[in-house]
C-alpha cells in the first residue's frame, strides 16, 4: 500500500458506528419509499398515522413523545397529513392551546392498505442477512436504542406519556 497523506484513513469513517447508522438509515428510507411509492407516505408519516390510530385524540406534543420525533418537525408532518386528508385537527374543549388529532376514514383506509407494502419494505431491509443474524441484529439494535433512549432530544415516552387521557382507544 502506498503511504497516505496522514494516519487518518477512510476506515476512520467506514468502520465506525456513526457512519454505519447513517448509511443504514439512508438505505432503509430508500427501500421504504420504493415499496410504498403508490401510497405517497414517508416512514415518518406512516409512524404518525399508526400512533394516531392507536391514540385517537392525542395532541402534537404527546404524539412527538410516542414516536420520538421532534415537536418542531412534527408540525409540518401533521400539516402534510392533514392536507392529504388522512387526519383531522380539532380544538380541545378543556385546553384552548391544544389541537387533538384524529384519523379520517380515508386515513384509516390508507393505513390498512399500506401495511403489506410496509411489511415488504421492513423485510427487504434485513433480507441480505441469514435468519439468525436478522434476529440477533434486531435484538441488539432494540436494546441499544432502548438503553440510549435518554440521549436524544426527544426520548421515546410510549404509552405512559398518555396515562392522563384515561383511555386506550
Partner DNA sequence: ATCAAATTGGCAGTATACTGTCAATCAAGA
Partner DNA sequence: TCTTGATTGACAGTATACTGCCAATTTGAT
Give the residues lining the site for DNA (CB under 7 A).
22, 25-26, 29-30, 42-45, 59-62, 69-73, 75-78, 80, 94-99, 152-154
The C-alpha atoms of residue 72 and residue 61 are separated, in whole angstroms, by 10
111 touches, from its own copies, DNA, none (C-beta below 5 to 8 Å by class): its own copies
Which of residues 71, 106, 109, 137 is near its own copies by CB under 8 A?
Answer: 137
Among residue numbers 5 through 24, which ones bind its own copies (CB under 8 A)? 5-6, 8-10, 12-24
Q: Which one, of 120, 140, 123, 132, lies nearest residue 20 by Cα?
A: 140
Chain-centre distance of CA 166, in angstroms?
25
Beta bridge partners of 87: 103
Q: Does 153 bind its own copies (CB under 8 A)?
A: yes
Phi and psi dihedrals of 43, rounded to 5?
A: -55, -40
Is the Cβ–Cβ distance between 91 and 97 less than 8 Å?
A: no
**Which CB sits closer to its own copies, 60 or 126?**
126
- Burial environment of residue 112 by CB neighbours within 10 A (0 to 12, 13 to 18, 19 or more): exposed
Q: Does 125 bind its own copies (CB under 8 A)?
A: yes
Task: Output the smallest distance, CB 13 to its own copies, in A.
Answer: 5
Q: x/- site string to its own copies, residues 89 to 108, per CB under 8 A?
A: -------------------x
The C-alpha atoms of residue 59 and residue 101 are separated, in whole angstroms, by 6
78 touches, from DNA, its own copies, none (C-beta below 5 to 8 Å by class): DNA
Amino acid at each position: 500500500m502506498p503511504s497516505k497523506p496522514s494516519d487518518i484513513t477512510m476506515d476512520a469513517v467506514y468502520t465506525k458506528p456513526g457512519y454505519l447508522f447513517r448509511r443504514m438509515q439512508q438505505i432503509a428510507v430508500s427501500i421504504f419509499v420504493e415499496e410504498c411509492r403508490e401510497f405517497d407516505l414517508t416512514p415518518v408519516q406512516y409512524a404518525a398515522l399508526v400512533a394516531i390510530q392507536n391514540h385517537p385524540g392525542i395532541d402534537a406534543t404527546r404524539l412527538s413523545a410516542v414516536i420520538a420525533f421532534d415537536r418542531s418537525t412534527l408540525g409540518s408532518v401533521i400539516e402534510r397529513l392533514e392536507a392529504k386528508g388522512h387526519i383531522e385537527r380539532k380544538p380541545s374543549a378543556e385546553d384552548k392551546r391544544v389541537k387533538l388529532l384524529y384519523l379520517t376514514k380515508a386515513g384509516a383506509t390508507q393505513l390498512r392498505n399500506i401495511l403489506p407494502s410496509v411489511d415488504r419494505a421492513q423485510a427487504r431491509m434485513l433480507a441480505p442477512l441469514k435468519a439468525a443474524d436478522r434476529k440477533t441484529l434486531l435484538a441488539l439494535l432494540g436494546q441499544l436504542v432502548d438503553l440510549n433512549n435518554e440521549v436524544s432530544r426527544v426520548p421515546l415516552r410510549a404509552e405512559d406519556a398518555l396515562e392522563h387521557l384515561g383511555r386506550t382507544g
